[in-house]
Structure 1
Amino acid sequence: MTTLSCEINKVPVTAILDSGANCNIIGESIAKIVGLKIDNTSDTEIYNPISEINILGIIRAIEISILSQNHKQKQVEVTDIFVTNKSELESILILVCRGSRKMQ
């Protein structure tokens, strides 16, 4: 797991890159703060090893600016981000990490 400093709509957000995650998840409060449109037509259910995670909807795509190691901003499009109001995930952005590409 790695944390990244990033921005969504010019608002600073910390993202967690998780190679063990099977989907992208954002807390409802972050989604509202950065002004993301939530499509509440999702009927997806997500389970962690202990319980179900309540999904309010989905954000189809967002642009994230990530500060790379050489202190330059890199724009990345992330798709299919599930929105939750689960209290322990309320202020979190979890991104699925596939592979081990380094950001230049």
Structure 2
Amino acid sequence: MGAHWVYILASQRNGTLYIGVTRDLPKRMHEHRTGLHGGFTAQYGVKRLVFAEPHDTAVGAIQREKNLKHWPRQWKIALIEKDNPEWRDLYGELAGGLGS
């Protein structure tokens, strides 16, 4: 069974944040980056992957996503900056190791 992912996208450093969950992170990132489905991320230009966390189960990933969405903004920023203080786009770093 493959990993399920909880991820955070940002429009820019300390900009608009989007939290999502998916089983296929490369596919979902492509959808966000191309605006394939429109919606929030397309409207606000939220395309930079700044946080990605694997989970063994869909239930665990969905629960983590729900929890993060209720966190205060500063907690979300601290979570991102713990491992990614420069807010670099992690997609390029992770893409090679994220088989679909």
State the TM-score bracket (shorter-chain normalisation): 0.3 to 0.5
More strand per residue: 1 or 2?
1
Instruction: From the CA coordinates, give the structure whose radius of gyration is larger.
Output: 1
More helix per residue: 1 or 2?
2
Q: TM-score, normalised by structure 2?
A: 0.35
